[in-house]
Amino acid sequence: MRRLAVGALGLLATAALAQPAVSDEIRIGYQKSSTLTAILKANGELEKALAPLGISVSWHEFTSGLPLLEAVNVGSIDFGADVADTVPIFAQAAGAKMAYVAEEAASPSAQAILVPQSSPIKTLADLRGKRVAVTKGAGSHFLLLAAVAKAGLSFKDITPAYLTPADGRAAFVSNNVDAWVAWDPFLTSASRQSGGRVLADGSNGLASYKRYYLSSAAFADRHGDVLNIIFGKLAETGRWVKAHPKDAATLLAGLWGIDAPTVEEANSHRSYQVGSVTVSGLSEQQRIADAFFAEGLIPAKVDTTAVKIWTPKGS
């Protein structure tokens, strides 16, 4: 298969002149919280499905969504599975040529703002002046932004501590931050094991929280046959997780190092409903982009409909 050597985020014009190399391997980037991808990596079903095309799979773990999509953009990996809804907006603002391949339906309760059980913070307005751990560019970043806005605050009224999920949890349990914005399975694990109390999640229209699967635009143009197989396997795996919650939790518990009951509860917060991406379905993306621009988190306004959307065959 052909790989496009797309340049670094700031060097797209130069990279457009690069010639693609030939490979029979697809490189898939994922995060620890990429549930469906983790299962496919463990069971080998994707390799079996791609074998008739003569394609092997290599797997590459990332700490969060931003570096994952940067790797897609620079050509280090071919497919990103998966990232929160906010992440493609940062990539688009930086000029990355990405293609939406699939989405997971909204899961608003799968991310939340946690405070210690004994914290005096009782309302969103109480976050004023507080230090809040959040992963930059993650879906939790927009949840925090939307939450402080709902409370009548600006982002400048809090002190964000931009940390990876692991570092955010460490800061939370050691009381080095007043609150932590996390997503599952980290959210449920911290809530159950560290006595965290949910101050607010994405419910009631605060933040829908979708997760997206993306490739470079060039890869989507050239390898629809590969993406069709990946799309089908992701959708199939999502249905299996919801139909067999205990089996899925047992499998993932071993992969994540989290006890099975915690994993099962975390999975109950996620839709795992994989479907095609549509322009109308990207409506909240524009709300996120506008909020990030207003806070100076991205350098320019972004039209979130000005993207490539890959559609699976038969849809």
Among residues 96, 93, 95, 94, which one has the least CA distance to residue 80? 96
Q: Each residue of 93-112: pLDDT tens digit? A: 999 999 999 999 999 999 99
pLDDT above 70 covers what percent of the chain?
Answer: 92
Average pLDDT over residues 248-260: 95
pLDDT of residue 18: 35
Q: Is 296 helix (H, G, I), strand (E, B) or coil?
A: coil
pLDDT above 90 covers what percent of the chain?
Answer: 82
CB 62 within 8 A of CB 31: yes
Residue spans of beta strands (DSSP E) within 87-130? 98-104, 111-116
Strand partners, 309: 100
Domains 2-106+210-309 and 108-201 belong to one CATH topology: yes
Q: Each residue of 173-208: pLDDT tens digit? A: 999 999 999 999 999 999 998 889 999 999 989 999
Residue type, 290: D
DSSP state letter for 18: P
> Confidence band (pLDDT; 50, 70, 90) for 15?
very low
Distance of alpha carbon 180 from alpha carbon 225, whole angstroms:
41
What residue spans define the domains of the chain?
2-106+210-309, 108-201
Residue 288 reports pLDDT greater than 60: yes
The lowest-confidence range among 10-24, 136-150, 174-188, 269-283 is: 10-24
Among residues 142, 136, 34, 135, which one has the least CA distance to residue 80? 34
Average pLDDT over residues 256-269: 96
Residue 86 reports pLDDT greater than 70: yes
Strand partners, 212: 83, 103
Average pLDDT over residues 81-96: 92
Average model confidence (pLDDT) across the chain:
90
Distance of alpha carbon 187 from alpha carbon 199, whole angstroms:
12
> Confidence band (pLDDT; 50, 70, 90) for 23?
low
> Confidence band (pLDDT; 50, 70, 90) for 315?
low
pLDDT of residue 17: 31
Q: What's the CATH superfamily of 108-201?
A: Periplasmic binding protein-like II (3.40.190.10)
Q: Rounded to 5 degrees, what are φ and ψ at 204?
A: 60, 35
pLDDT of residue 295: 86
Residue 213 reports pLDDT greater than 60: yes
Average pLDDT over residues 33-43: 95
Q: How many residues does this entry show for the chain?
A: 315
Fold of 2-106+210-309: D-Maltodextrin-Binding Protein; domain 2 (3.40.190)
Among residues 213, 192, 173, 170, which one has the least CA distance to residue 260? 192
Among residues 209, 199, 138, which one has the least CA distance to residue 167? 138
> Confidence band (pLDDT; 50, 70, 90) for 313?
confident
Residue linked to tokens 């996620």: 270
Distance of alpha carbon 95 from alpha carbon 307, whole angstroms:
11
The b-or-e profile of 138-154 (16+ CB within 10 A means b, else e) is bbbbbbbbbbbbebebe
CB neighbour class for 240 (10 Å; exposed up to 12, middle 13-18, buried from 19): middle
Pairing mode of beta strands 111-116, 274-275: unpaired
Among residues 86, 25, 23, which one has the least CA distance to residue 60? 25
Q: Each residue of 117-132: pLDDT tens digit? A: 999 999 999 999 999 9
DSSP 46-68: HHHHHGGGT-EEEEEEESSHHHH
Residue 149 reports pLDDT greater than 70: yes
